[in-house]
Structure 1
């Protein structure tokens, strides 16, 4: 029983007595991801804390990253989860080069990085994001979830404008069956 009491003491110290200092230390770690031994666990911790205060530091660090950074996928996961769980009216500053960088990863990095970049881009509803998403949907050779995220971004940005594309994808037999099913589900939901 002493083990649980020690854990409770540590948790109380971090989450109650020193909560603000703990958050600041986490933000410092976000800014220096190479100092984190296990970025996967760190990202999961940030998500479990549901800290909206971590969104902007994550976006800033992601905007400074390079395609091969080992922590990038974990940080993209964390920020997508935090933004997704935030109130719709939450406003945050998007670094100037982030949308362009996400577009580069979506178009030039098939697989997990493109999927997670598309997952973040869907929250940035703009003409620039729309252009990236439409271009990606012209392709057929990436992970189907990347295309799902692009479709969601387009529907959230302008449902009426993009519903014909959703229908086209749902009926396109050259597309991944799971993507076609997702598009058909969107069509049923919104038509």
Structure 2
């Protein structure tokens, strides 16, 4: 086992002297998602690197993904977390097919895939994303966090326009109690912010 100075030398070599090579290798791994034996660990590594230059390769790989790919939810998670760290003014190139794919997974899937896809979709400000989020919010029976991500996307990209809908969801007894509680919390926070 290397001593502390050997470890420091290795880390310095990888992260400082060869940082560009390290980044290229990470991007190459992203493009070979199916070969990664532990996509969860890899996604955690990507998130911990906090490198916004990894977002576009992730989005490209996700746009090539298919329902059932073992890496897909982990990559959706990593892309969402990295996007959450960048400024809203930063431009990120998004593959044209990505919003349509996310929409299919949000609307026609349930569980983790729909949740993670909705989490990434919330960063898309366009009309298509809004329509997908509204369509999902008409549904019932999915994991409540999927609906939370849709609400977050609508509020993020359309400000107060959808607050009446969120208020209605807070009192809709056909909704999951956790979703109703979340919507009420949003309303309360908005009201507290006006004071």
Q: Indicate the TM-score class for this superposition, using the shorter chain for normalisation.
A: over 0.9
Stretch deviating more after TM superposition (122-131 or 158-167)? 158-167
Query: What runs of 5+ residues in structure 1 fail to find an aligned partner?
Result: none
Q: CA deviation at 1:5?
A: 3.2
How far apart in 2 are the matches of 1:141 and 1:3? Answer: 54
After TM superposition, the runs of 4+ consecutive aligned structure 1 residues lying more than 6 A away are none
Query: What runs of 5+ residues in structure 2 fail to find an aligned partner?
Result: none
How far apart in 1 are the matches of 2:59 and 2:2? Answer: 40
- The yes-or-no answer on 1:163 pairing with 2:163 is yes
Quote the residue 1:42 is aligned against: 42
* TM-score using structure 1 length: 0.96
Pairing 1:168-187 to 2, within 5 Å after superposition: 168-187=168-187
Quote the residue 2:22 is aligned against: 22
Quote the residue 2:90 is aligned against: 90
How far apart in 2 are the matches of 1:136 and 1:2? Answer: 52
How far apart in 1 are the matches of 2:2 and 2:103? Answer: 51
How far apart in 2 are the matches of 1:117 and 1:60? Answer: 14
Q: CA deviation at 1:2?
A: 4.1
How far apart in 1 are the matches of 2:5 and 2:45? Answer: 21
Stretch deviating more after TM superposition (158-167 or 66-75)? 158-167
Instruction: Render the CA deviation track for 1:81-112: whole Å, top value 9, x for unaligned.
Output: 00001122111111000000000000111000
Count of aligned residue pairs for this structure pair: 191
- The yes-or-no answer on 1:106 pairing with 2:103 is no
Q: CA deviation at 1:3?
A: 3.7
* TM-score using structure 2 length: 0.94
Q: CA deviation at 1:130?
A: 0.5
Quote the residue 1:135 is aligned against: 135
Quote the residue 2:9 is aligned against: 9
